[in-house]
A = this chain, B = another copy of it.
């Protein structure tokens, strides 16, 4: 069995992109097929297309919906490495950046003017993402030249606009109804804000953690000393946001936790350190940056107290990996919040699956004769 796939870089991730005519097809078959294609279970994924790291063991499944309002529907799959399993629980912001480029390269969407708009829907979260791909003079340039932090080589510029991202998990931008709350943990009453946009996030003030807000470079060791307390706050926030009924049930990945402090220079609007799976994140998850952007726009949040309710369209967040810019725009009652990434198609491939596995999937996949 031979399976067509494009290997693409989206932002700082690599992912394998598959097409299906039947997106509603049972995920059970993909649960079996994807790990084998990727070479899992195997810490090295040596017999498959996986890259043996979390940012290179990712798949995207794309289809063209009959719904005219959406150009491309896509499902993100985090493929296990040491386990032959697939996690469908969230979207990947970086991988999302391949969808618009794929649609143009495959002729699903015809370039229109200097920037081509592609309406995409992520099925993991229900999120609509409006993508804008640079197409100067109505075409993709032969040699892409857009740069982004964290990627050495240029790619095509893709803007990702999360449409009305509030409340996708809990139903509300402010799940507790208030822009700021108090959570008791470790003998302290913490001033926090809980926001659901892109992902549910609880925000904590750097000052309350005793961090030196004038010296962002000292934050990491300071945060690492307080990981236990921060996890207590995070778990209590999960309960307050209505995601679970007791702190012990809180998932490891959500809600996310962000620590914020005032800017230390004109190059950014806020200093941010996010936790990921209990550790300081080396940069910032895109979904987390969406939540922080809406928090900055919402009067009464502890982030808004730092940034102010400016009408600035761009928010500059300092992260350990550098300053990340998000943008937001409102148009006819619709809010778009987003970031710019770059994307590129690395290889067009036919993956060879030796076993007669996933016969049920076969009918719904783009397959190829070698």
Contacts and interface: CB of A to CB of B under 8 A. Distances in A.
- Counting contact residues on chain A (CB < 8 A from B), the size range is 35 or more
Contact of A352 (B48, B347, B356): B347
Give the oligomeric copy count: 2
A7 to B, nearest CB: 8
Contacts of A332: none
Contacts of A42: 152-153
A66 interface: no
Nearest to A143: B354
A48 B354 contact: no
A263 interface: no
Interface stretch (A49-57, A114-122, A131-139, A186-194): A49-57
A48 B143 contact: no
30 contacts: A7-B349, A12-B44, A12-B46, A13-B46, A14-B46, A39-B152, A41-B152, A42-B152, A46-B55, A46-B56, A46-B151, A47-B152, A47-B153, A48-B153, A48-B346, A49-B346, A51-B52, A52-B56, A144-B354, A344-B352, A344-B354, A346-B351, A346-B352, A347-B349, A347-B350, A347-B352, A348-B350, A348-B352, A348-B370, A349-B350
Given A12-B44, A14-B46, A47-B346, 13 more contacts: A7-B49, A39-B152, A41-B152, A42-B153, A48-B346, A52-B56, A143-B356, A347-B347, A347-B349, A347-B351, A348-B350, A348-B352, A348-B370
